Amino acid sequence: MRTTALPAAEATRPRTVVVGALLATGAVFMAFAALVAMYVQQRQTARAAGQEWFPEGSVELGPAGMMMMTLVLSMVTVQWAVQAARDEDRPHGFIALGVTLMFGAAVINQFWFVYQDTAFAIDGGRAELLFYAVTGAFIAMLIGGMAMLTVTTIRSLMGPFGRDLAHGVQAAGFYWHMCVLCYFLVWYVVFITK
Amino acid sequence: MFTTGFKFFFGLFAAFCAAALVYGYTTGGNHVGPLSLGWKGGVGDHIGYGVLVALAGVSLTISLVLVSFRDADAAAQAHLQNLAEVLTDQPVAASFWPVVASFGVGAAAVGLVLHPMVFVLGLAVIVLSMVEWTMDAWADRATGDTAVNRELRNRIMAPIEIPVVGALGVGVIVLAASRILLTVSKLEAVAVAGVVSALILGGAWVYASRPGLGRRLVRVLGTVGALLLLIGGVLAAVAGEREFHPHTDDTHEESVEPTGGEHGG
Amino acid sequence: MTLTEPAIADSEAAPGAGGATAPEPSDEAAAAPSILAQPFVTSDAAAVGRLFVLTSLLLAVGTSVVGVLLSLGRTEAVAPWDLFGGFNAYFRMWTLYRMSFMLLVVMPLLLGVALAVVPTQVGAGNVAFPRAALASFWSWLIGAVIIVVSVLAGGGWGAIDGVTGNESDAMALTLLGTGMVIVALMLGAVTVATTVISSRQTGMSLLDVPPFSWSMLVAAAVWLFTLPVAIANLVVIYADLRGRPAIAFGRAESPDIWLQLDWLVEQPAVYIMAVPVLGIAVEAVGAAVGARSSRPEAITVIVGLFGLLAVGGWSQDYFTAPQDLRDGLVYVAFGLAAVLPLVALAGGAAELVLRGTKTPDRLLDVRMMGAGAALKLLGAAALVGALRVIEPLDLLETTATWAVFHGVVVAGLIAGVVALRNWSHELQISPLSVVVGRGAVALLLGGGGLLVLSDLISGFLADAPDLMALALDGSAALNVVALAGSVLVAAGAAAAAVGAVSALRTPVPAGEAA
């Protein structure tokens, strides 16, 4: 039996992976939105009681803005990867996925700097605890997104960068956009309005 | 025009928007806070309002995606791919990696509380499972022939899996056996090593001289032997090593001479 | 073919020509996994569904036995904390009973039924992500084991009377186990929802899917909207617990941990378990009397509306003043409105009976009895829920809360029994015995009814908020009624579990399994 005589895999339902990823992404967003809601509620309670939330000047806006810019750029590179997958353009696909992963790593690195800069102790109080809970959850979500993109990359290495794979990249891209939206919430709620 | 899925999730969106507004205003929201997501004025109870707004956002997104996909209707998808019909049932081969991944998650959870080493082990198992799972998923769709798909997967992964599993197996055996030998007395260690070596040698000889021996029997014997070794190793590790260093108490039988060259490792 | 060309570029030669050739399937390779290996490797969603159903029914027996002990503690025969060996131990069991019935019994039971039934109903041979379904079961099971072991080791969701030794670690394990179980259930929900949306056969629109599949789509959506909020609570509680000594919430030495999570077992979130019950009931009644609804789209709307009213997560009052939330218009509206879809669905079921064949054997069919019993209990629970949100009645922080809970979970158990009878082919088991089925339904209906009734009346009699019913305010007769109810529920759960095991052991007749 020659392998060239083997039947090709039958056409699959192209939207299955995207629909599954969409539902899972919605669930992850709900968890994060609830975390942010708790954060805002506690801050509101503290302020209503006349208490300080973060010490003045302890949370800098500069690094947070850089992270926002980086993640906005990563939204473009993710879409670049999705389009490259649709066009079966392997070099562009790999470059786009690689740059996106680099952006993700850069954001994690920047968060490490923020943690060092603020020097909060997790048992310092409600503000510190919720600061770590919200940002830590975001970092975990971002790592999950990077893992999804990495898996997509591995799969792309296994065969042609075809339409079947394009839906996997599209699903990962959808999740990535949601992560950026979540960071926007962090940026506005934690860093801007402090 | 508007699909059923769209109607359901868009209905949820509308209901959650209305609930968020009413909730915001009835729990202390003022001005146009609940209408402007808190930009101008208060939104009342932040948790309830935040969760309801998030629910509305997720519902709206899902509804828009579903209507653009035509509810992922089979006919619409076939049209998308220029096919007469798309497959609704994708054959998926049996795989134990989902179970391994689950145990990895469990180990990571337990390790998070009990010991960092267990946590790291759990993470390693999860990563390994994800790689293997991805390969299985790829192989399922490689060709239309299930047996060929399996063989393709094995051709790629077996050169990696077999040496790694072999090395791990040897490592576990060495570790377990060494724990046992380090726990029992010197004399007993010699006896255990002799008996186990003789058993392995004897078993190998029997297997070599009787190729017709049932594979299932060999598997069972091998598994039982490995389990016994593993259990013995765990029990020995719990019991701890015997005393190796010189002791002032001359009556301690398990002490070894400084020149004995035995170092507990 | 293009997908595999790089990987098998060396396999162009014909077999036997010396090059690597494509393998012929060997007997061993083609063999199905052995019966012992199947639970660990299967990609058949029906097998995963059976695992879920069987395991959750066995856990139902254990959980209901805990319920009997808790009820025994309310009878004043012995102080509840003495029965369990301390106040903390009592609190652990009290919270375990509630969490377990929801996360380890009813939700996985209905999810298991869905994994087996939904693919066949929408014309797919399997669920959308079979391996994810298997991972869902095992993650759920491992999480369940972590929960039970850690609670028995002194963990649980908080403590009242101080914490000693390693109990804080055990509590952290309970929290992680809870998170694992919730994530596993969500994974199963994603699998089922994707199957309904994306694996329907050609020509079947979402409006055409049978009521149970539609109810599972709604339930999965509601689970995915509600359970993540509990994950967020767990993240905060865990960070707080492990970052101690820290702050004013989530401390181990108080019931604060439970108070951050209790919204999950209270209305409206408690109704998320009940959404699939509606689909099961409608289909069971239709199958029993051999009729189809004249207005299937009405059933679709009713189930969707009930799902909307079951969404919780927003209704947690730990971080805010309870009166702000619980007296709020939205909370009251959700509580009152939940009755409406159930009344409408009862009307739909009645229409089916009127249109169908009304012979005695059909009306006494296990499916008919079970569907009626589940809807009655669910209706009773929703009615109590509506009473509970009426402020002048002062029922909010009383045992009326658990009347709603008991009505919903026992209705879920009964729906599981009905499913075992109605979809034995899809589950690939023998039909549940009629005697066992009727017995289980009767016991569960009786027990659930007594529990709902006693909890509601105790709520009315309570002078002050008393969620744990510790005041022992002289309503001794009611407490005995509650004990009788718990015993009946335990007996019903045991009957259902025995019936399921025996149905599993009986071989499916050839030709029927397909």
Separation of alpha carbons B119 and B134, rounded Å: 23
| Range of weakest confidence among B114-128, B142-156, C9-23 | C9-23
List alpha helices for A87-125, DSSP H. Answer: 90-118
- Touching A (3+ Cβ pairs <8 A), the chains are B, C
* Cβ atoms of residues A71 and A166 within 8 Å: no
Q: What pLDDT score was predicted for residue C250?
A: 53
- Asked whether the predicted pLDDT for residue C277 surpasses 90, the reply is yes
Q: Is B134 part of the contact surface with chain C (CB cutoff 8 Å)?
A: no
Q: What pLDDT score was predicted for residue B207?
A: 83
Superfamily of domain C44-505: Cytochrome c oxidase-like, subunit I domain (1.20.210.10)
Q: How far is CA C425 from the centre of its chain?
A: 22
How far away is chain C from the Cα of B119, in angstroms, using its nearest Cα?
13
Q: What pLDDT score was predicted for residue C29?
A: 44
Separation of alpha carbons A4 and C2, rounded Å: 9
Q: What pLDDT score was predicted for residue C19?
A: 37
**How distant, in Å, are the alpha carbons of A102, A152, A153, A155, B149 from that of A148?**
14, 6, 9, 11, 23
pLDDT digits (tens, 9 = 90+) for B27-72: 888 888 899 888 888 888 899 999 999 999 999 999 999 998 888 8
**Interacting residues of B212 by C-beta distance below 8 A, sequence separation 6+:** none
- Asked whether the predicted pLDDT for residue A1 surpasses 80, the reply is no
SS3 content of chain C, % helix, strand, coil (to 5): 70, 0, 30
pLDDT digits (tens, 9 = 90+) for C218-272: 999 999 999 999 999 999 999 888 876 544 455 556 678 898 999 999 999 999 9
Map out the domains of chain B as residue ranges: 4-80, 166-265
**How distant, in Å, are the alpha carbons of A67, B119, C315 from that of B33?**
28, 45, 20
Query: What does the longest C-alpha to C-alpha distance in chain B come to?
Result: 94
pLDDT band at B223 (very low <50, low <70, confident <90, very high): confident
Q: How many residues does chain A have?
A: 194
Greater model confidence, A180 or C90: A180
- Asked whether the predicted pLDDT for residue C25 surpasses 60, the reply is no
Separation of alpha carbons C369 and C374, rounded Å: 9
Mean pLDDT on C400-419: 96
Q: Is C27 part of the contact surface with chain A (CB cutoff 8 Å)?
A: no
pLDDT digits (tens, 9 = 90+) for C439-449: 999 999 999 99
DSSP A175: H
Mean pLDDT on C360-372: 91
Q: What pLDDT score was predicted for residue C86?
A: 81
pLDDT digits (tens, 9 = 90+) for C287-310: 999 988 888 899 999 999 999 999
How far away is chain C from the Cα of A134, in angstroms, using its nearest Cα?
9
* Tokens found for residue C125: 């041979």
- Asked whether the predicted pLDDT for residue C17 surpasses 50, the reply is no
Q: What pLDDT score was predicted for residue B265?
A: 35
* Tokens found for residue C314: 């927003």
Interface contact flag, A1 C21, Cβ < 8 Å: yes
Most confident of A13-27, B22-36, C105-119: C105-119
Greater model confidence, C191 or A120: C191
- Residue in A with minimal Cα distance to C132: A20
Q: What pLDDT score was predicted for residue C37?
A: 82
Residue among C48, C8, C125, C68 at smallest CA distance from C489: C68
Residue B194, helix vs strand vs coil = helix
Structural domains of chain A ordered from first start: 25-45+59-192 (1.20.120.80)
Map out the domains of chain C as residue ranges: 44-505
- Residue in A with minimal Cα distance to C244: A123
- Asked whether the predicted pLDDT for residue B99 surpasses 80, the reply is yes
pLDDT band at B260 (very low <50, low <70, confident <90, very high): very low
CA angle B245, B246, B252 (to 5 degrees): 100
Interface contact flag, A19 C198, Cβ < 8 Å: yes
**How distant, in Å, are the alpha carbons of A39, A59, A137 from that of A127?**
8, 12, 15
Q: b/e for C186-216, b at 16 or more Cβ within 10 A?
A: bbbbbbbbbbbbbbbeeebebeebbbbbbbb
Q: What pLDDT score was predicted for residue C471?
A: 56
Q: How far is CA B257 from the centre of its chain?
A: 47
Residues 149-168 of A with CB under 8 A from C: 158-160, 162, 164
Greater model confidence, B66 or C30: B66
Q: How many residues does chain B have?
A: 265
- Asked whether the predicted pLDDT for residue B248 surpasses 60, the reply is no
Residue among C402, C158, C154 at smallest CA distance from C261: C158
How far away is chain A from the Cα of B139, in angstroms, using its nearest Cα?
10
Q: What pLDDT score was predicted for residue C220?
A: 97
Residue B132, helix vs strand vs coil = helix
Residues 258-297 of C with CB under 8 A from B: none
pTM for the full predicted model: 0.88
Mean pLDDT on C361-375: 93
* Cβ atoms of residues A27 and C224 within 8 Å: yes
Q: Angle of helix A90-118 relative to helix A126-158, nearest 10 degrees?
A: 160
